[in-house]
Amino acid sequence: DRIRELLMLYSTPDNLEHTVSSLHFTEKDLQKALDDDQFILHYQPKVLVRSGRLVAVEALCRWPHPDIGMVSPAHFIPLMESTGLIHELTHRLIDQSLNQLRNNLDNSKAIAIGVNLSPVVLTDTQLPDELYKKTRALNIEPELLTLEITESTLIENAARALETLARLKMKGFSLSIDDFGTGYSSMQQLNRIPFSELKIDRSFVQSANTDKTRKAIIEANINLAHTLGMETVAEGVETLEEWHLLNQLHCDMAQGFLIGKAMAAEDLPEWEQQWTE
């Protein structure tokens, strides 16, 4: 009955935004989906702006729901966080990412994988040791796993989160600061945690060609990151104009629909072939 209810909510195409935002699952739905191993990862290419070369992918969670189709993370991550199910989800997704990494390495492709870490899992100070064990078991350099953390979320449980991040760094994992510029303590976080990558939020990339303020913010952030020895990634690059501007501002990497959407791992080789043509 719940399924029918959800289906009805979901199947109003001309009101999709509204119906999608009213999609709500229960803890039981999510626990069952975890038990059935229904959560998968899609991978979005991260390429060098200078050359277009594929250097990394970001792993984005997807739920191919057996009855309602592909569900985006916005509809289940918050409940996963408030119920604590996010811990189990994170471990499963990291296992999937590491298997993918191992697979790529076996095919002589050293492509880093970025995984999103919820602030909730940063309260688990065992996480660094557990992740390290997983990489050792598969003989993977921890550096190839980039952990993306949204800066605004660092505020809660700050002391604990900082300790976990420091331990992750000590184990050799790469740390990336996600959605940079959208939080309110940007500069402060930067000198407290050894991030190696800074991701410029899509809201700054959009229309940076026509909006002088946004362009100035991007430029300042890129320069700041480089001064601190960090690499920069522009998120949500959708047009060639944006790409050219980023190149001019010496942004290191780009990610967005212009380059490619998140896709199943098996579709990446075909995407790469078309992209490099």
Q: List the interface residues with ligand C2E, window 227-256 (CB under 6 A).
A: 236-238, 256
Reported as type and span, the H/E element at residue 116 is strand 112-116
> C-alpha angle 136/267/259, rounded to 5°?
95
Q: How far apart are CA 40 and CA 62, in angstroms?
A: 5
Phi, psi of 36 (to 5 degrees): -85, 5
Identify residue 102 by its one-letter amino acid code.
Answer: R
Q: How far apart are CA 234 and CA 254, in angstroms?
A: 5
**Residue from 178, 197, 242, 252 binding Ca ion (CB under 5 A):** 178
User: Least CB distance from residue 4 to ligand C2E, whole Å?
Assistant: 26
Residue 208 is encoded by which pair of tokens? 């940076």
Binding mask 117-156 toward ligand C2E (x if CB under 6 A, else -) reads -x-----------------------------x--------
Q: Does 181 bind ligand C2E (CB under 6 A)?
A: no
Q: Does 179 bind Ca ion (CB under 5 A)?
A: yes
Q: How far apart are CA 235 and CA 201, in angstroms?
A: 6
- Kindly indicate which of the ranges 40-48, 87-95, 111-119, 245-253 contains the residues binding Ca ion, using the contact rule CB under 5 A: 111-119
Residue 152 is encoded by which pair of tokens? 């605004």
Q: What residues does 175 pair with on adjacent strands?
A: 147
Identify residue 20 by its one-letter amino acid code.
Answer: V
Pick the closer one to ligand C2E by CB: 49 or 237: 237
Q: Does 60 bind ligand C2E (CB under 6 A)?
A: yes
Q: List the interface residues with ligand C2E, window 5-44 (CB under 6 A).
A: 44
Which residues contact Ca ion by CB under 5 A?
A: 116, 148, 178-179, 235
Can you give the binding site for ligand C2E, defined by CB under 6 A?
44, 60-61, 72-74, 77, 93, 116, 118, 148, 178-179, 236-238, 256-257, 262
